[in-house]
Chains A and B, each alone.
Chain A
Amino acid sequence: MGSDIHDSEAGGGPSAPPDEHRSTTTLRVNGKPHTLVVDHRRALLDVLREDLDLTGAKKGCDHGQCGACTVLLDGRRVNSCLQLAVALDGSEVTTIEGLAGDGEELHPLQRAFLDRDAFQCGYCTPGQICSALGALDEAAAGHPSHVTAPAAPSGRPVPLDADEIRERLSGNLCRCGAYPRIVEAVEDVVR
């Protein structure tokens, strides 16, 4: 797959910042490499949405408080609004668009959210699903949470019950209040 080189917003026009305020950065997004010249101010979220047309990750608060922009960075969930693209050179990014297989087959978490009707407006859903995916991997790798018993053995997978799921997804807000269904959807995938 060829590398796709293009300028990020404000990279070309008359308002282009001087060279000392721009750098070249290469990101691998959903398996595809992209080399971009980015204004240092550019957040990963804006690169995804505006430069790469991957509008699944949503801009909610733009301050790391709502989780709507959650993506996986080198396999770990992060708030993409707080990640400066210039600092991510060489990183691997997975967005909601990258979860399903090549065909029409949805990721089990996507399927479960549909089956459980785990959303109303849907704005937070891509972030919820990417966050849930990250949380499942963290629990499998033995990462405890605030509600894990302190006496639970270190380094062993942590079983996820509803309390664990609620705590681990607390960084994702849903203003429609679909939380009970979101917890059920994630429980379906854990089982």
Chain B
Amino acid sequence: MKPFGYVRAASVEEATEAFAAHPGARYLGGGTNLVDLMKLGVERPAVLVDVSRLPLDVVEELPDGSLRVGAAVRNSDLAAHPMARDRYPALSQALLAGASGQLRNAATTGGNLLQRTRCPYFQDVSKPCNKREPGSGCGARDGVHRDHAVLGHSERCVATHPSDMAVALAALDARVELYGEQGARSVPAAAFHRLPGQHPERDTEIRPGELITSVVLPAATAGLPSAYRKARDRASYAFALASVAVVLRVSDGVVAHAGIAFGALAHRPWRAQRAEEALLGGPATPDAFARAVDLELAAAEPLRDNGYKVPLARNIAVDVLTRLAPAAAT
């Protein structure tokens, strides 16, 4: 590992100033992904700006009924928080489907969003990877890519985003709050991560030096029936092969609200807008769910060895929608 400097920030402003003052800086949260990548030589920061002790470790209800989750809240604490569990079940379930008890105790909300792909070519500095080293090529496109993207990939990159939590946030219409040199701003969670296009080195819409300060879950989806389902190679402690978060409200047998997002299919959580539009105002039946999900997944372009992901994603999505429908009826 390359030697590096270390600065502990006492406030958000101090953190962003320290970042700006040190070329090659990285923010350190729980470190569960960053420290690993430093050991692998993928990340080589000159300075770590430690933001893990900033006063951003609070979950609080805002006056409008939304829920603000500080960026330093640990994944295990958020998953167990009564307001997260009771109002946004898909969020709690997604967090608990990820990693291990030890990792969830260390990993933060902000860090979870900024974790990097687990593509083996990205993690191996002896292999070509346009995300790690732009212009070096993509080893996965014609290599080992069983776990890779089937939607929205590009010639340059077929990696997937590994987060479970981010998939639930996308389906729940959460927003990501950021603070940087130009002040505070917020972006929808579903638009926070990017598709790779020509620049797979950029995972998200975050600007250089910007810090995630919190994630806000809206009042509009609070208390709506929601669920997260994850398909993986082991019963526990494995990244998703495909996953889905669903938020559903049914009124008089008709779908009144549908939020659907897929994980492990693309470079970002894949908000299934086509499926949602197809469902709105229509019947909440298994046939209607299957037609809507098929419409969404018609855009899939599987690689040589990952075509299995399309029916897998379809089946878990239709099953979750069907199981949620009775509870979603008002």
Alpha-carbon distance between A172 and B39 when the two chains are bound, in angstroms: 21
Give the contacting residue for B36; candidates A63, A142, A166; CB below 8 A.
A63
Alpha-carbon distance between A82 and B86 when the two chains are bound, in angstroms: 32
Docked-complex contact A21 and B4, CB < 8 angstroms = yes
Interface status of B237 (Cβ within 8 A of chain A) = yes
Docked-complex contact A145 and B96, CB < 8 angstroms = yes
Docked-complex contact A43 and B102, CB < 8 angstroms = no
| Residue in B closest to A39 when the chains form the complex, CB atoms | B3
Measured CB to CB, the closest approach of chain A to B182, in angstroms, equals: 28
B contacts, CB < 8 Å to A = 1, 3-6, 8, 28, 31-32, 35-36, 38-40, 48, 50, 52, 76, 79-80, 82, 85-86, 89, 92-93, 96-97, 99-103, 105-106, 227, 234-237
| Inter-chain residue pair count (beta carbon < 8 A) | 119
Alpha-carbon distance between A83 and B85 when the two chains are bound, in angstroms: 28
Alpha-carbon distance between A170 and B100 when the two chains are bound, in angstroms: 6
> B32 to chain A: which residues have CB within 8 Å?
64, 79, 82
Q: In A107-140, which residues have CB < 8 Å from any B CB?
A: 131, 134-135, 138
Docked-complex contact B5 and A79, CB < 8 angstroms = no
Alpha-carbon distance between A67 and B101 when the two chains are bound, in angstroms: 10
> A58 to chain B: which residues have CB within 8 Å?
none
Measured CB to CB, the closest approach of chain A to B41, in angstroms, equals: 12
Docked-complex contact A143 and B80, CB < 8 angstroms = yes
On chain A, the number of residues with a Cβ less than 8 Å from chain B's Cβ atoms is 46
> B52 to chain A: which residues have CB within 8 Å?
87
Docked-complex contact A170 and B105, CB < 8 angstroms = no
Docked-complex contact A171 and B6, CB < 8 angstroms = no
Measured CB to CB, the closest approach of chain A to B14, in angstroms, equals: 16
Alpha-carbon distance between A134 and B103 when the two chains are bound, in angstroms: 12
Alpha-carbon distance between A23 and B237 when the two chains are bound, in angstroms: 35
The segment out of A1-9, A47-55, A70-78, A95-103 that lies at the interface is A70-78
**A-B pairs with the 9 shortest C-beta distances?**
A171-B100, A170-B236, A154-B82, A21-B3, A170-B237, A143-B80, A146-B96, A76-B105, A41-B1
Interface status of A62 (Cβ within 8 A of chain B) = yes
Interface status of A17 (Cβ within 8 A of chain B) = yes
| Residue in B closest to A158 when the chains form the complex, CB atoms | B80
13 new A-B contacts, CB < 8 A, other than A76-B105, A82-B106, A170-B236, are: A21-B3, A63-B40, A76-B76, A82-B31, A84-B31, A84-B48, A87-B31, A142-B80, A143-B79, A150-B227, A166-B236, A169-B101, A171-B237
